[in-house]
Structure 1
């Protein structure tokens, strides 16, 4: 018996499937059907329980989902073409004092430099000594920041033009508004911008912070100003040729709310270094021993971990209140739960009030941060800042740890897509307490199982290798369309995902 099912997709591939169905009826092919998967059509051809995918070529610039899902060049193979790339970023990270945007730039461009590309970074520093000599093919163009801390656009652009005159850049990339375009005269068709937070998301952030505000504190909710900022962004975002959304949610917002054509919006999820953030139980145990937590104590306790800036908008007042209430109402929970907090900020001292089972460790270097993740059972991310896709949950995923995070669209849509790998909660003390109790009741074995699913998803979508391969392919594609927006035929294949490539 032959079964076939065909659906309409965005490619004219249906007739091919019907033709193959016809062949299957009059040949030994037992099964053929049409499916629609991660944004493009393909036929499944099953012969003797082996599945062959006949994939329709796709235009990557119109691919509707995360490029991380696709398989590009191998890490071991050299790139098909070396590029000269200009990066504009507000600040280059200094050790552990980096925000998510700077860490993204560091991870991405170290990988691209290792691939052989010629990298020029336009950034700020109060002293050139703060910028290390990393690799011979990474060159820094330093300028003093404005009073607001932002990159001086006039100075940076002058530096860019001088370097561009020696040999033209193939691609220009800006991390958010490192390079801000405000008029059509600035439009560059080889420019891509990665958004790590947009004004539309801040409205959700303000709502969450208002919900947890102490009634004695004044309200900070000023929606009129935020609405006008969204309108301003909708206007000047149009001048960027290509937009990289760092989460599925932001990709949707850029297309629907900001009205940017779909062929100019590309979703590339943030990635973290899988060589640093990986499971290593022995390093986790050593980390705990140095903190004075022996194996008997660690085995009998659930260890919660938090990391990042210990400030209000990262949800620490919410976490503090939830823990304080649980500790007061349940002494068993208090005695059998350890909370480790990596980072610094005003809420560090407040956390110390909750007792000896809660330890504030201060900021950690990346290697130590990896050991920290290996030491915990679950990572807690109570952020009230619904902007971008934070690095810390991704680091926990790669290390094989489940995550519990606020119900922010970027997390629920791209990271914690079900309870196999973690938990999400509404930003209220009541809901956070409910999930904390659930984690405690389910125990360490369940956390380990969920951590396995988390790492599996992390390796598939959130590794630095995946992210860098996607950006490299985007940059190759952009550089091939640089000549007045018309593809040079010898390079046009960079914008096409080939038939023979496998699906991840």
Structure 2
């Protein structure tokens, strides 16, 4: 097949969950012998095109990582030009990146869209912020964003963009797409996100954190972009209770973002600076070392979206995980079987779950083993790529049948 994938961003723009997902999907499809053309937003260094065997990447628009009118127009014109010679078999829109083709009435082959989150999820996330322990300024910002996102969703439904196939990445997302987007159930395909189970796997305990933890105390790890919706403030708020169980426990926070100053202030306010370590960003290829250095992975998100890839990566490394029971997380974690789920924003329950795992080595081991097994069976990169290709084949087949 000859496939055109349109995406908002790639690792060349920023290293994040969606960017890694798109890159690994592209690489996996190419590895299977298919041709792929990617159209994405402006490159941060002004590069227009990159090319290697069976893969071409085009950068268009006026701003990196932003859906702008110029991106929608530029991507539509470029696709129309390329399609005359490439004759693509299918278009795959990552989130709403390919909507420009419909806005500008470009004739396309069968089109598939993957939802990595929805406007409904975003609205719910912003409502969660309104009721969480953040500043009044951030609550006002969230209220404004609720209005903007709601307006965008209304416009989306009015335009009624059409897709031949819709990929839902979780069980929960299927319900959102049928209820709020009016997609027909027969056009929705479940394809769970995948992780590289060879790159992320259990190894001998890594020494990468030894310089921060010379006496080999218990380590709680969180890996996230540092924004308020990721809820890192909640695990920090839970630390005083956790430290009552063991005053030597370390919380290691990997990632950067515009909420970093708030978290630093919170740590100082709680006088737990000796127990909280901010690492900053680390190379993606180094993440397995950090997962394998921890005793427990925590994701206290208040963001109503899919499951963060970091959850799957920790599980693939056979680590016990404690995660907010929100959004699509239950697709990835069965409470008490391969992880522990806690009520979103409940600091007391979060602390209790963390202590429960850290004090019970048999429980931690059982959860970790079950987590790895689930990732191997349902969330491997290989399974994700194969399932996505099957969706392409199905929508192409159905499109041909309709045209007979």
Q: Which interval holds the TM-score relative to the shorter structure?
A: 0.7 to 0.9
- Indicate the residue corresponding to 1:195 in structure 2: 115
What is the Cα deviation at residue 257 of structure 1? 2.9
2:230 aligned partner: 314
Residue 287 (str. 1) matches residue 208 (str. 2): yes
Residues 268-290 of structure 1 show CA distances to partners (whole Å, capped at 9, x for unaligned) of 11111112111112xx333233x
Q: In structure 2, which of residues 48, 56, 62 is the aligned counterpart of residue 145 of structure 1? A: 62
- Indicate conservation of the 8 Å contact 1:339/1:359, yes or no: yes
Q: How many angstroms apart in 1 are the aligned matches of 2:59 and 2:149?
A: 32
How far the C-alpha of 1:305 sits from its partner, in A, is 0.7
Residue 142 of structure 1 aligns to a residue whose secondary structure is strand
1:206 and 1:288 mapped to 2: Cα distance?
34
Tell me how far apart the structure 2 counterparts of residues 486 and 404 of structure 1 sit (CA, whole Å).
50
Q: For 2:73 and 2:308, how far apart are their aligned partners in 1?
A: 30
Aligned equivalents of 1:236 and 1:187: distance in 2? 17
Counterpart in the other structure of 2:124: 204
For structure 1, the residue ranges without an aligned partner over 5 or more in a row are 1-82, 488-504
Which aligned pairs between 1:160-175 and structure 2 lie closer than 5 A?
160-175=79-94
Partner residue in 2 for 1:52: none
Could you tell me which residue of structure 2 aligns to residue 305 of structure 1?
Answer: 221
Q: 1:467 aligns with which of 366, 373, 384?
A: 384
1:92 counterpart SS class: coil
Q: Which of residues 178, 181, 188 in structure 2 aligns to 1:255?
A: 178
> For the residues of structure 2 that align with 1:140 and 1:128, how far apart are their CA atoms?
13
Residues 20-47 of structure 1, C-alpha deviations (whole Å, 9 max, x = no match): xxxxxxxxxxxxxxxxxxxxxxxxxxxx
Residue 403 of structure 1: CA displacement? 1.6
Which residue among 412, 416, 421 is the counterpart of 2:333?
Answer: 416
Cross-structure match for 1:103:
20
Contact 1:126 1:144 in 2 (8 A): no
- Normalising to structure 1: TM-score of the pair? 0.71
Q: 1:174 to 1:264 in 2, by over 3 A?
A: same
* Residue 397 in structure 1 maps to residue 310 in structure 2: no
The question of whether the paired residues in 2 share the 8 Å contact of 1:184 and 1:239 is answered with no
Give the direction of change, closer, same or farther, for the CA distance of 1:183–1:153 in structure 2 (3 Å limit).
closer
1:94 partnered with 2:12: yes
Structure 1 CA distance for aligned equivalents of residues 155 and 74 of structure 2: 24
Q: Secondary structure at the match of 1:446?
A: helix
State the distance in 1 between where 2:103 and 2:67 align.
Answer: 19
CA–CA separation in structure 1 for the residues paired with 2:237 and 2:48: 39
Which residue in 1 is equivalent to 2:256? 344
* Counterpart contact for 1:243–1:266, Cα < 8 Å: yes
- 2:367 pairs, out of 450, 467, 470, with 450
- Contact kept, 8 Å, 2:50 with 2:57, in 1: the verdict is no
* 2:196 is equivalent to residue 273 of structure 1: yes
- Cα distance change on mapping 1:252 and 1:262 into 2, 3 Å: same
- Alpha-carbon shift at residue 120 of structure 1 (Å): 0.4
- Separation in structure 1 between the aligned mates of residue 265 and residue 198 of structure 2, nearest angstrom: 34
Find the counterpart in structure 1 of residue 247 from structure 2: 334
Would you say the 8 A contact 1:186–1:239 is kept in 2?
A: no
Q: Determine the structure 2 residue equivalent to 1:221.
A: 143
Distance (whole Å) between structure 1 residues aligned to residue 15 and residue 49 of structure 2: 13
Any idea what SS the aligned residue of 1:177 has? coil
Cα distance between partner residues in 2 of 1:139 and 1:194:
20
Once residues 160 and 309 of structure 2 are traced to their aligned partners in structure 1, the CA distance between those partners, rounded to angstroms, is 24
Give me the whole-angstrom Cα distance separating, in 2, the residues matched to 1:255 and 1:159: 32
- State the Cα distance separating 1:110 from its structure 2 match: 0.7
- Shift of the 247–187 alpha-carbon distance from structure 1 to 2, 3 Å rule, reads farther
In structure 2, do the counterparts of structure 1 residues 344 and 227 end up closer, same or farther at CA, with 3 Å as the change threshold?
A: closer
Where does structure 2 lack aligned partners over 5 or more consecutive residues?
none
- Taking the TM superposition and a 5 Å limit, the aligned residue runs for 1:73-92 are 83-92=1-10
Larger radius of gyration: 1
Alpha-carbon shift at residue 362 of structure 1 (Å):
1.5
| Residue of structure 2 in register with 1:241 after alignment | 164
CA distance in 1, matches of 2:378, 2:349: 29
Change (3 A) 1:127 1:288: closer
Measured after TM superposition, the shift of residue 342 of structure 1 is 1.3
Deviation of 1:419 (Å): 0.9
The 3-state SS of whatever aligns with 2:195 is coil
Q: Distance in 2 between matches of 1:148 and 1:368?
A: 24
